[in-house]
Amino acid sequence: MTRHSIDWHTKQDEDYLQLCIDRLSQPPLFWVEQFVTFINEKTADWGDNPRKVNDIGCCTGAFNVGLRDLGQCPIDYQGYDISQTYLDIARLHFPQHPFELLDIGQSKPRETDISVMSGTLEHVDEWQSALSHICQTTKRFVLMRTFLGTSFEVGHYSQPGADHSYPIYQFTFQQLHEEAEKHGFSVEMMRDKATDSIPKYLGCGITRTQYVCLLTAKGA
């Protein structure tokens, strides 16, 4: 039986929702700039071929704010999120792109060349299945921001005013390498531009450090 997915918005509050909406009319977020710059460099020799991109955990579609910086390259974009609330906002702001409800821990997205994911994997209890689904459907490379450290940790955060708490995982460098290797991907860790990969206290006794990870399909 498939587990019922809880709308991520019920784990946050109205201030967070407004923040996500406000970001859509502001310059690209630091992580979006970092990802777009990397995609530009990595796909420079693709010519006029479309850059097929899956945005996993797209929230209100903030990655789209940076898509205009992908030069004149054609983009075949697909956004996925577990929250219908966020998807409705994304569709309103970016009607030129499709958005779909998906629990990445339970189901696979479409096949793609590139997958991007920021601040998502660490909140998925079925994180190994989620990573498997992404790797199985990505032909070239995955760009992912998540929490890494020397020990595996999980804590639960309760946002004041929210209906549900949510997990915040920290994966080990070894775990990520092993999971990627299982699916035929190599891994490179990079400094996260937004946080400078400095540990941050998140509340509820939880401290995490964010990194950007490049997973490249072997032979791609």
- Considering the entire predicted model, what is its pTM? 0.93
CB 185 within 8 A of CB 218: yes
**Alpha helices, H only, the chain:** 14-22, 30-42, 64-67, 84-93, 127-137, 173-182
pLDDT at 156: 92
Per-10-residue mean pLDDT, the chain, length 220: 60 86 94 94 87 96 87 86 95 96 97 97 96 98 98 91 87 96 96 96 94 93
pLDDT at 4: 46
Domains in the chain, number: 1
pLDDT at 5: 64
Is residue 3 in some structural domain? Answer: no
Which domain covers residue 207, as residue numbers?
A: 8-217
pLDDT at 3: 45
DSSP string, 76-122: EEEEEES-HHHHHHHHHH-TTS-EEE--TTTS----EEEEEEES-GG
Is residue 70 in some structural domain? Answer: yes
In this structure, what CATH number is given to the domain that contains residue 59?
A: 3.40.50.150
Is residue 22 in some structural domain? Answer: yes
Distance CA 130, CA 132 (A): 5
Is residue 1 in some structural domain? Answer: no
Is residue 168 in some structural domain? Answer: yes
